[in-house]
Amino acid sequence: MYQFKMPEFKVNMEINKPDPYPLLSEGMKRVIDYQAEHSKDAFDTNCSWTELREKYIEERKFWNEGGPEPFKVVNTEVEGPIGPVPVRIYYPDEKPGRNALVFIHGGGFTVGSNDTHDRMMRCVMESGDCVVIGVDYHLAPEAKFPIPLYESAAVVRHFHEHAEEYNISPDKMAIGGDSGGANLALAANLYLRDAFGGNDYICALLLYYGSYGMFDGYSWRLNGTALDGMTKADMLAYVSYYLEEGMADMENPYFSTLNNDLTHGVPAAYLCCGDLDPLLGDSQALHAILKSRGVHTKLEIVPGALHAFMHYGRMMEEAVHCLKESGEFYVSVRRGA
């Protein structure tokens, strides 16, 4: 008689993923080839978070060169729950009362700053014809969830309530961000709605390849490798830094925002994501939910693009296009188009 028993095995989500390199767009290939020569292993999370930050800062320097020049840049601070939050304000010109976008940088809640996202913010300043306010929230693991969320919301409230001091309009504001910053942007909008009596002064969200609570699915099974630092192990490393030990907040609706009530208080939303990004499913799900609720929403899926492609405008027309389209989306929403 046969003896039945389970063979030895270990879970490996990566083994069945196709090699992404042949699937990349020409621009994305140029980026990956450049990184292989100049910043190999920049996104490898198999190191201390201090080292990861240093690698990230160094890798981003090249990509932030060039781009639109602001009329004026002001660095200041906003009081937050654990102390001052540095902010950077980009003014396109000296015209008074311009609308403002609060931009929250990505980096897995653990790395990144206004410096690492400088060009991206300057590009949206130009295409959105607006003031852009960058938020240097405190990073994990020193500042865990929900501190970066509270800080992001505090910055939005501050500039809404003190708009005249900064020569901006208090109305028709937008919140935007990339990756973890997109998570914080959507969460901040929902938090302001729920905790402070309304968010009707926010008219648009610009969300670039955000994480909204899906940690499996079609895009997760096919995408995310060492090329973009987006394996399941990488993502869980970032989340473990951000959430408290035991990760009891994994399903918290201000972290996994797809668990929140999206039936009201969500303004017009522009979403974009590469088709080789494991987070693509998050953007598709959010887009479908908002569309079903009658929210004006636009989703751009970029062929052959990996996670974080919008940093690479020096080599990728796709990045230039999406930064332009997202800014113009904000303009059209302000005008009621």
Mean per-residue pLDDT pooled into runs of 10, the chain (337 residues): 83 87 98 92 81 91 97 98 98 97 97 97 98 98 97 98 98 98 98 96 98 94 93 90 88 97 98 98 98 98 98 98 98 92
Residue 33 phi/psi, 5-degree rounding, is -65, -40
Burial annotation 80-112 (CB, 10 A radius, 16+ → b, else e)? beeeebbbbbbbbeeeeebbbbbbbbbbbbbbb
CATH of the domain at 127: 3.40.50.1820
Q: Is 15 part of any domain?
A: no
Total of domains in the chain: 1
Tokens standing for 178?
């990339």
Segment (H or E) for 55: helix 49-63
What's the Rg (C-alpha) of the chain? Answer: 20
Q: Is residue 312 part of a domain?
A: yes
pLDDT at 337: 66
Contact 316, 25 (CB under 8 A): yes
Instruction: Please report whether residue 228 resides in a domain.
Output: yes
Copy the structure tokens of residue 238. Answer: 């970032």
Q: Answer for the pair 271, 299: CB distance below 8 angstroms, yes or no.
A: yes
Question: d(Cα 276, Cα 284) in Å, to the nearest integer?
Answer: 13
Residue 57, classified by CB atoms within 10 Å of its CB into exposed (0-12), middle (13-18) or buried (19+), is middle
Residue 126 domain-assigned (yes or no):
yes
User: Hey, how many other C-beta atoms are within 10 angstroms of the C-beta on 128?
Assistant: 27
The answer to whether 125 touches 90, Cβ cutoff 8 Å, is yes
Tell the residue number behind the tokens 């090329």, with chain if given.
227
Residues 325 and 316: their CA atoms lie apart, in Å, by 15
38 CA to centre of own chain: 24
Q: What are the catalytic residues?
A: 179, 277, 307
**What is the domain range of residue 239?**
23-30+45-53+72-334
Contact status, residue 225 vs residue 20, Cβ threshold 8 Å: yes
Distance of CA 153 to the CA centre of its chain: 15
Give the pLDDT of residue 246.
Answer: 76
Could you give the strand order of the β-sheet that contains 72-80, starting from the edge strand earlier in sequence?
A: 72-80, 83-91, 131-135, 100-104, 173-178, 202-208, 268-274, 297-302
Amino acid at the residue 141: P
Q: Is residue 112 part of a domain?
A: yes
> Is there a domain that residue 323 lies in?
yes
Residue pair 186/257 in contact by the 8 Å Cβ criterion: yes
2: in domain: no
pTM over 0.85: yes
What tokens does 6 get? 């389970």
In a domain, 8, yes or no: no
CA distance 107 to 112: 5
